[in-house]
């Protein structure tokens, strides 16, 4: 019984929560399924949430909550933030018409008291598409320079192709470990 105790302890340790938010059609569910199954899947708009436990390696295990981003569902985001260790905010870098809406949504969610001192990972999705915004443009449009009350990172990715996802979530794991 004694030699198995460390295994049991690891099994029952609380897995950190990562909450992934963003406007509808930003690619959150596509990203989640690409991470989980290593393949692109057809998705439909998320009504409610999707959740997976992601194990990058033995030290990096966390639960990722993908919360629906339609305008009518955003008021529910607050109910998923308690215990959040890192907020991942996904932006469609190819949709210049909705970047202001994304900025407002991000600013609103970051003002929640449950996110005080919680690190932020911004993923600029669809950067593989022609005419998408650069990381610098996304930073400027979201006013990330004014986000001085927390650690934050930004990274380009393509949820559909899987580009940058592993690196982004390894960074998320590092942000969790710093807390």
Catalytic residues: 70
Cα–chain center distance at 87: 6
For tokens 């969790």, what's the residue? Answer: 176
């Amino acid at each position: 019984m004694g030699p198995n105790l460390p295994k049991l302890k690891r099994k029952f340790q609380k897995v950190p929560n990562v909450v992934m938010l963003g406007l509808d059609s930003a690619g959150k569910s596509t990203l989640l399924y690409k991470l989980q199954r290593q393949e692109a899947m057809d998705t439909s708009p998320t009504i409610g949430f999707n959740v997976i436990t992601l194990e990058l390696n033995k030290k990096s295990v966390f639960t990722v909550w993908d919360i629906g981003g339609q305008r009518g569902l955003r008021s529910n985001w607050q109910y998923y933030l308690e215990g959040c260790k890192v907020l991942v905010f996904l932006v469609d870098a190819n949709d210049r018409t909705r970047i202001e809406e994304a900025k407002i949504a991000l600013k609103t969610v970051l003002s929640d008291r449950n996110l005080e001192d919680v690190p932020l990972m911004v993923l600029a999705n669809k950067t593989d598409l022609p005419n998408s915004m650069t990381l610098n443009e996304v930073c400027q449009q979201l006013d990330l320079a004014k986000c001085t009350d927390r650690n934050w990172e930004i990274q380009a990715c393509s949820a559909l192709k899987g580009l940058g996802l592993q690196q982004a979530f390894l960074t998320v794991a590092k942000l969790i470990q710093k807390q």
